[in-house]
């Protein structure tokens, strides 16, 4: 009976956790994007969004209260009526005048022991219902982790600085094709530019190379241990020293002070050299352009064999953008450089171009002079 009246409490607690998580995620989203919301004047829109979150919580909380009251009613009913069962069992003995003090004591002790054993589950039913809802969510999480989606795009590791692409087809999650690439080899030290209209899959190609996108088919191979991906919006951990921000994901003692100072000067951030040991919320201090220069400083520290840049200088003026690409070509001459970029002035820093379109990819040489240092093979 208790399960019949209180059983829905499990589902109500499950939904409550879901709605609470939505609210917390929304609050974190507002905290992270408060400046953008203020620029848009989106206070009313955010107020409406959070009103819906709170309405879901309030509505479901009424269900939680209702089912909890039902469970508590059954619990109290059991406590009040359980003693009556003892006398119901003793009535025949009482009417027959055979009930003795000893018999009553033994019967009462046995009855109380059985009652206490059953009472534990009844008294803790609401807590058990909450635990069941938590276990249900954890079970779903474990099921998803144990059975990730099957990746059609495979990656292999090479011991050189080459990047090999074989029969690559990039797809959306619904199965529609974004674009496709021919068999292509990017040799060590070459500089490649990836361009094309918006939404054709330029950043998706880099996600596939990083192993973050598996929708599609084909094979990718490069030195994954000595490759570095630079996103358009670099990650800047808060509450850490500038050394740790620069060395991320390595530890601050991985590089010496001279190396930190050198890379800051190279990317035109010499004004922060005196603050290497300062602990602050650096994401609030750096401008978007400074964050992108910081990301290139990380590349100079790490010195990877292969560098993938996903519009990594889009927030910079032409002068600083030119500076960063010049620094990369001078300090990492043997590194294979792959850039997703829209700015035409960056073409002079690349030797080859992959022009993506929904119909496929066109591979072309940007300039004969730049191409003299290397070549690419492609099959169509």
Residue 16 CB-half CA count within 13 A = 20
pLDDT of the residue at 303 = 94
Are both 193 and 281 inside the same structural domain?
yes
Are both 130 and 222 inside the same structural domain?
no
Q: What pLDDT band is residue 367 in, cutting at 50, 70 and 90? A: low
Higher pLDDT, 117 or 364: 364
**Last residue of some domain: 119, 146, 173?**
146
d(CA 180, CA 169): 4
Are both 130 and 174 inside the same structural domain?
no
Interval 343-352: pLDDT, tens: 888 999 999 9
pLDDT surpasses 70 at 72 = yes
Are both 137 and 94 inside the same structural domain?
yes
**Last residue of some domain: 126, 146, 166?**
146
Please give the C-alpha separations between residue 370 and each of 197, 311, 352, 353, in angstroms, as whole numbers: 25, 21, 8, 12
The number of domains in the chain is 2
Taking phi over 0 as left and psi of -120 to 50 as alpha, with beta for the rest, 100 belongs to beta
Q: For the domain that residue 243 is a member of, what is the CATH number?
A: 3.40.50.300
pLDDT surpasses 50 at 371 = no
Are both 97 and 227 inside the same structural domain?
no
pLDDT of the residue at 6 = 64
Interval 166-191: pLDDT, tens: 999 999 988 899 999 989 999 999 99
Are both 84 and 188 inside the same structural domain?
no
Are both 141 and 278 inside the same structural domain?
no
pLDDT of the residue at 99 = 74
Taking phi over 0 as left and psi of -120 to 50 as alpha, with beta for the rest, 227 belongs to beta
pLDDT surpasses 50 at 372 = no
**Dihedral angle over CA of 329, 333, 335, 341, nearest 10:** 20
d(CA 112, CA 213): 62
Higher pLDDT, 66 or 128: 66
Range(s) of the domain holding residue 196: 153-379
Of 90-104, 317-331, 364-378, which has the strongest mean pLDDT?
A: 317-331
Average pLDDT over residues 145-157: 81
pLDDT of the residue at 132 = 82
Average pLDDT over residues 263-278: 94
Are both 87 and 198 inside the same structural domain?
no
Contacts of 284 (CB under 8 A, 6+ apart): 238
Helix (H) or strand (E) holding 330: helix 318-331
Are both 119 and 243 inside the same structural domain?
no
The fraction of the chain above a pLDDT of 90, given in percent, is 51
Are both 133 and 38 inside the same structural domain?
yes
d(CA 121, CA 312): 59
Are both 162 and 80 inside the same structural domain?
no
Q: For the domain that residue 20 is a member of, what is the CATH number?
A: 1.20.1560.10
Are both 118 and 210 inside the same structural domain?
no
Interval 219-247: pLDDT, tens: 999 999 999 999 999 999 888 899 999 99
Helix (H) or strand (E) holding 78: helix 43-95
Q: Is 286 helix (H, G, I), strand (E, B) or coil?
A: coil
Q: Which range among 4-13, 25-34, 43-52 shows the weakest confidence by mean pLDDT?
A: 4-13
Confirm if 322 and 267 have CB atoms less than 8 A apart.
Answer: no
Average pLDDT over residues 287-303: 95
pLDDT of the residue at 39 = 82
**Last residue of some domain: 146, 167, 198?**
146
């Amino acid at each position: 009976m208790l399960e019949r009246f209180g059983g829905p409490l499990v589902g109500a607690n499950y939904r409550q956790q879901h709605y609470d998580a939505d609210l917390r995620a929304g609050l974190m989203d507002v905290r992270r994007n408060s400046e953008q919301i203020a620029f848009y004047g989106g206070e009313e829109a955010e107020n409406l969004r959070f009103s819906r979150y709170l309405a879901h919580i309030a509505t479901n909380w009424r269900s939680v209260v209702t089912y909890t009251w039902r469970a508590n009613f059954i619990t109290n009913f059991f406590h009040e009526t359980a003693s009556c069962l003892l006398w119901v069992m003793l009535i025949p003995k009482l009417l027959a005048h055979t009930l003795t003090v000893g018999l009553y004591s033994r019967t009462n002790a046995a009855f109380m022991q059985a009652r206490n054993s059953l009472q534990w589950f009844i008294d803790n039913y609401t807590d058990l219902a909450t635990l069941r809802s938590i276990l249900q969510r954890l079970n779903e999480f474990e099921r998803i982790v144990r059975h990730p989606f099957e990746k059609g795009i495979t990656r292999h590791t090479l011991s050189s600085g080459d990047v090999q692409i074989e029969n690559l087809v990039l797809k959306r999650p619904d199965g529609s094709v974004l674009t496709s690439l021919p068999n292509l080899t990017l040799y060590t030290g070459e500089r490649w530019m990836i361009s094309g209209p918006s939404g054709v899959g330029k950043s998706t190609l880099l996600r596939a190379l990083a192993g973050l996108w598996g929708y599609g088919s084909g094979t990718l191979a490069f030195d994954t241990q000595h490759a570095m991906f630079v996103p358009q919006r670099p990650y800047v951990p808060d509450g850490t020293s500038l050394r740790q921000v620069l060395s991320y994901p390595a530890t601050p003692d991985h590089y010496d002070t001279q190396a930190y100072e050198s890379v800051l000067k190279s990317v035109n951030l010499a004004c922060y050299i005196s603050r290497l040991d300062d602990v602050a919320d650096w994401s609030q201090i750096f401008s978007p352009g400074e964050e992108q220069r910081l990301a290139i400083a990380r590349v100079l520290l790490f010195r990877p064999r292969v560098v993938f840049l996903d519009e990594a200088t889009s927030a910079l003026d032409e002068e600083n953008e030119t500076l960063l690409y010049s620094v990369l070509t001078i300090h990492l001459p043997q590194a294979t450089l792959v850039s997703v970029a829209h700015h035409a002035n960056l073409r002079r820093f690349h030797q080859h171009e992959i022009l993506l379109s929904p119909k496929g990819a066109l591979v072309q040489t940007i300039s004969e002079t730049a191409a003299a240092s290397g070549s690419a093979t492609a099959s169509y």
